[in-house]
Amino acid sequence: MILRSVIILAVAFLACKGKQPVVTPVETEVNTEAVRPDWVRARPASGMYYIGVGLASKSRPDHLETAKKNALNDLASEISVSVEGNSLLYTLDQRSHFDESFTGTIKTSTQEQIEGFEMVDSWESPTEYWTYYRLSKGEHARIKAEKKAQAIGTALDLHARSRASIGSGDLKSAFDQDLRALLAMKNYWGENDVVELDEKQVPLVNELYNDLQKLTSGVRFAILPERCELSYANGFKRELLISATYSNGTASRDLVQLPVAIEFPGLSGKVIEQKNTDLEGHVRANVQGVDPEAAAKEVVVRLDLRALVSKELDPTLVKALMSSLTVPEQRAAIDLRMPKVFMRSVETNLGVPVREAGLSVVVREELTRKGFRFVEREADSDMVLQLNASTRQGGEASGFFTAFLDVSYSFRDRLTQDVLHEGGRQGVKGVQLNYEKAGLEAYKKAVPDIRKDLVPAMMSALQ
């Protein structure tokens, strides 16, 4: 009897349990929505705080950090960043020196350095994680003012050092210190922070930028001699003496260890040398190997701006600033005087002299095009060119005749008789219907080689 009662109770229990309601996913979502806090349902607003609310999917392994990051970005978007008129950023924007991405980076730099925020609350559902941060507007203003005061102090100290450096003729250090001072104020380029300098009230950032412009535009170069003459007499080499000074309108001083770039057209392309001035503000440059066919034959001396900047500084900010600075330079014309040549030529085709069909005409044309001057008297020349060319029979087959051309040439200094350059071609083949025409054909085939090899080789030998 007792056993039967237990069985009946067990069956009744299972029957009751089977009748419990089934909770569907939709009902779970509705229940979750019912318990969402007010700050999740509707973004809060406050007159005393900047608010930031962030959401992240819990399917992300880093959902906690992602929600915090999103909340702080949301908070930062509430902090207005305006660009004041006549500020450095405003001025450079107006001149189109900064692209939009760079300008945006500067304008929102405040958003990347938020301090003093606090977490108010967090909430999560089976699929979402929410977080709520706030920042006291008063605390934010205090921290910003404190940081700005520190930045101004750093900038003023660096600017004072810059003035001392330029006073001793060290423009490189002066430029570096003023640039660092300007970068120390980068978060405030959109503002007009007035400070006292030389008993005057001036906007600090604009003053630092103007000082950078004065430093570069005040550089003066002088080149001696004023025209660079290259000739056979000096071996087509010339040393130039370059001096660098700084002038602020009232005084001038020599610039020491100033990075200078020296450019001129070379045979293999533009030649660029980087040098620094010595303790007297001088630098020496050797000009040689100049391309005689260059459109503008001149030496260009300019301030090497890139060498003024330390590699540790932010390249994006530096590039934007440098693009608007004056780059001083000085130019000196190159007078390239090619040697006077007296040419002797002996050219035969199977023992018979050739004239217009010979190679001497081609050589004269090519050298003249390069600036060489041909003279009729050996006594008037700087060098003597001896050209020998002759053909020989090579044989006949199937009605076609072959001839071979041998060419040799040499350039000698007229006074010393030293060989400057020599060369030639052996066995240039010509095929025609008779030996005479085959010889002339060999002469024609030799012309491209003469144009390609002889003249460039001669130019290289002289340079």
The per-residue pLDDT for range 93-147, each reduced to its tens digit, is 655 545 554 555 555 554 556 788 999 999 999 999 999 999 999 999 899 899 9
Whether residue 44 is preceded by a cis peptide bond, meaning omega within 30 degrees of 0, is no
pLDDT < 70 regions, the chain: 1-34, 80-83, 85, 92-113, 463
DSSP state of 158: H
In a domain, 302, yes or no: yes
Packed helices 455-462 and 360-369: angle between N→C axes, nearest 10 degrees: 50
Which residues are CB-contacts of 91 (< 8 A; sequence separation ≥ 6)?
206
Strands 383-397 and 340-349: parallel
Pair (255, 329) in one structural domain: yes
Residue 433 lies in a domain: yes
Which of 291, 322, 337 corresponds to the end of one domain?
337
Q: Which of 136, 167, 183 is the last residue of a domain?
A: 136
Does 169 reside within a domain?
A: no
CA angle (251, 257, 259) in 5-degree steps: 100
Are 323 and 245 within one domain? yes
Q: Which domain holds residue 402?
A: 340-462
Please check whether residue 377 lies inside any domain of the structure.
yes
The answer to the question of residue 298 being in a domain is yes
- CA-nearest of 312, 366, 376 to 344 is 376
Task: Give the span between the Cα atoms of 459 and 289, in whole angstroms.
Answer: 9
Beta bridge partners of 432: 401
Are 349 and 381 contained in the same domain? Answer: yes
Beta partners for residue 200, in sequence order:
197
Q: Which pLDDT belongs to residue 98?
A: 55
Query: Could you tell me what percentage of the chain is helix, strand and coil, using 3-state DSSP and rounding each to the nearest 5?
Result: 40, 35, 30
Nearest to 117 by CA among 145, 150, 83, 140: 140
- H-type alpha helices, 52-99: 63-77, 88-94
Same domain, 313 and 350: no
Whether 295 and 382 map to the same domain: the answer is no
Same domain, 232 and 325: yes
Domain identity same for 370 and 330: no
pLDDT of residue 463: 66
CATH of the domain at 239: 2.60.40.10
Please indicate, yes or no, if residue 457 is contained in any of the structural domains: yes
Inter-residue contact 55 to 37 (CB < 8 Å)? no
Four-CA torsion 361, 362, 366, 372, nearest 10 degrees: -30
Considering the domain architecture, whether residues 49 and 63 belong to the same structural domain is answered as yes
- Give me the number of domains the chain comprises: 3
The pLDDT assigned to 13 comes to: 43
Q: Which amino acid is at 335?
A: D
Residue type, 266: G
The CATH number for 378's domain is 3.30.160.180
pTM summary value: 0.71
Distance CA 163, CA 218 (A): 14
